[in-house]
């Protein structure tokens, strides 16, 4: 590749540019620049030629017009191997530009400002920057387009090794990155403006929990061995900023598609609790969950719920993993663990299980939206962030729950939200006793929970994610020793269900909130 002889530099984010420009100048590169960038470079001892000198036209309109000019665009877009292009440059005295170093007005930062006026928002839409970047990226074979300070050092190193030039592969990589930037920039502008309405000449934000456009865009973060089954291809796409997708893997085998789905289910469940909590997930359903004063105790209680299903399960904790808990975990086969952090001693214990995947999850903030694909489109809903308020719940039976039953009902209600419908959870205070998940009839979920129970059911309570359409579910639960029930209510047969609970001596609470999870 030919040596880089001339670079145009015009930046909003000027981080590291003085050092980069000095480095370019060391290779004999002429620097063209504008406005504040030119001033900063001169103050840093870098010789600069003003763009206005090249165009023969001053900057104008408060800086809106600086680089939009044929003498700049021509220098960037001319194909060096095209004789007609080069004759045109020569005829009009246009200097070829071999490198464009440009980034954009910080539109997203401006858009995030509370109460920003429309005029200010629009003024933060860059015009010349995207134009230059697209032009340089289009002519990638002849022009290196540099949009990020993180590339400065590598470019200078390559120019040093290449006698002042960059490889075709680097030109192409920089162009790909540039087109991603302009696409993301246009996306941010489009999405923000789509949320603004013009009413009688006034601009107002459209108040909605759901966006007017669903824009799914994320880089490939990790190729996966396969999907849910070996014949399916799969990958993780994420900006890796948060949650399970943004977790750091500390040890273990490569994560699978199913690992990630289960880890996310486990992580979401433990975020429900303020006390130390543990969750054991198998095929996205909890097979054990508990909270206690200590993390190790919460894990032991979660494991007690269904030790058979816990084998090969996925775990999550809402506290950094401790040594005592790690010792308990090491007694059985576990696929993967998610936790905010791990003590050095816990890591040392779990290091003996080389295939065990350990994820350190830095940010537990829930996503505001849940997105699922269906054939031909996407379903979007707000996240189910409901927390039970005991004072808002209604006791529907002659007998109110005891304090112990209330504690169990509140715990069971939190877990029930994370079980696939139809969902039934038998619980004691701070501990799942049995789980019935995903059955086609609610009474069958009750039967499955009773069948799965490893702990005594006498005196436990029952949480149901949706109403009981018939009394049979409550009757089946009472047959196994359940003493209290929490459910949304809303069935046409609520009166019959309440009557059955009264006849059986059960306490029953209606929440008015359903927790279907499909």
Nearest to residue 340, comparing CAs of 362, 322, 357?
Answer: 362
Instruction: Give the CA dihedral 278, 280, 286, 287, nearest 10 degrees.
Output: -120
Instruction: Kindly tell me the burial class for residue 378, based on how many C-beta atoms sit within 10 Å of its own C-beta (0-12, 13-18, 19 or more).
Output: exposed
- Round to whole Å and give the CA distance between 102 and 146: 6
How many Cβ atoms from other residues are within 10 Å of residue 511's Cβ? Answer: 21
9 forms beta bridges with 33, 101
Tokens of 470: 């018939």
Q: Given 85, 283, 353, 493, which residue is catalytic?
A: 283
Is the distance from CB of 295 to CB of 321 less than 8 angstroms?
yes
In the residue annotation, 231 being an active-site residue is answered as no
Q: Given 138, 177, 353, 493, which residue is catalytic?
A: 138
Chain centre to alpha carbon of residue 97: 39
Terminal CA-CA length for the chain: 56
In the residue annotation, 253 being an active-site residue is answered as no
What is the Rg, in whole angstroms, of the alpha carbon atoms belonging to the chain? Answer: 31
Nearest to residue 506, comparing CAs of 390, 397, 432?
Answer: 397
- Round to whole Å and give the CA distance between 333 and 368: 34
Catalytic annotation, residues: 138, 283
């Amino acid at each position: 590749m030919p040596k880089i002889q001339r670079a145009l530099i015009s930046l909003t984010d000027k981080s590291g540019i003085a050092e980069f420009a000095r480095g370019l100048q060391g290779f004999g590169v002429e620097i063209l620049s504008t406005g504040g960038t030119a001033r900063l470079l001169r103050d840093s001892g870098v010789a600069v030629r003003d763009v206005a000198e090249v165009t023969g036209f001053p900057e104008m309109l408060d800086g809106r017009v600086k680089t939009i000019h044929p003498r700049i665009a021509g220098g960037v877009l001319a194909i060096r191997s095209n004789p007609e292009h080069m004759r045109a440059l020569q005829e009009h005295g246009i200097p070829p530009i071999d490198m464009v170093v440009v980034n954009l007005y910080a539109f997203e930062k401006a858009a995030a400002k509370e109460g920003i006026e429309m005029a200010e928002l629009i003024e933060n839409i860059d015009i010349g920057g995207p134009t230059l970047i697209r032009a340089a990226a289009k002519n990638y074979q002849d022009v290196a387009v540099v949009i990020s300070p993180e590339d400065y050092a590598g470019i200078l190193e390559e120019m040093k090794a290449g006698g002042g030039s960059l490889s075709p592969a680097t030109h192409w990589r920089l162009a790909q990155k540039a087109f991603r930037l302009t696409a993301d920039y246009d996306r941010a502008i489009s999405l923000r403006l789509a949320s603004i309405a013009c009413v009688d000449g006034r601009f107002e934000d459209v108040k909605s929990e759901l966006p007017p456009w669903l824009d799914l865009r994320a880089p490939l973060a990790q190729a996966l061995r396969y999907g849910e089954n070996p014949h399916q291809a799969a990958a993780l796409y994420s900006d890796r900023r948060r949650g399970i997708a943004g977790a750091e893997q500390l040890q273990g085998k490569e994560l699978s598609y199913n690992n990630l789905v289960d880890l996310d289910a486990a992580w979401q469940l433990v975020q429900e609790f303020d006390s130390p909590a543990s969750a054991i997930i198998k095929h996205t359903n909890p097979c054990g969950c508990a909270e206690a004063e200590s993390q190790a105790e919460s894990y032991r209680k979660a494991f007690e719920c269904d030790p058979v299903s816990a084998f090969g399960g996925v775990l999550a904790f809402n506290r950094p993993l401790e040594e005592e808990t790690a010792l308990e975990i090491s007694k059985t086969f576990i696929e993967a663990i998610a936790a905010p952090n791990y003590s050095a001693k816990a890591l040392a214990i779990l290091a003996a299980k080389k295939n065990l995947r350990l994820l350190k999850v830095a940010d537990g903030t829930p996503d505001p939206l849940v997105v699922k694909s269906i054939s031909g489109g996407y379903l979007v809903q707000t996240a189910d962030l409901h927390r039970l308020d005991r004072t808002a719940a209604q006791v529907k039976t002659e007998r109110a729950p005891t304090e112990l039953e209330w504690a169990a009902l509140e715990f069971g209600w939190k877990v029930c939200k994370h079980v696939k419908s139809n969902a039934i959870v038998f619980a004691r205070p701070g501990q799942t006793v049995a789980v019935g998940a995903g059955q086609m009839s609610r009474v069958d979920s009750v039967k499955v929970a009773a069948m799965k129970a490893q702990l005594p059911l006498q005196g436990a309570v029952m949480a149901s994610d949706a109403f009981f359409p018939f009394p049979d579910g409550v009757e089946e639960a009472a047959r196994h020793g359940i003493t209290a029930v929490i459910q949304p209510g809303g069935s046409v047969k609520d009166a019959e269900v309440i009557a059955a609970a009264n006849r059986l001596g059960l306490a029953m609470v209606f929440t008015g909130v359903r927790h279907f999870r499909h």
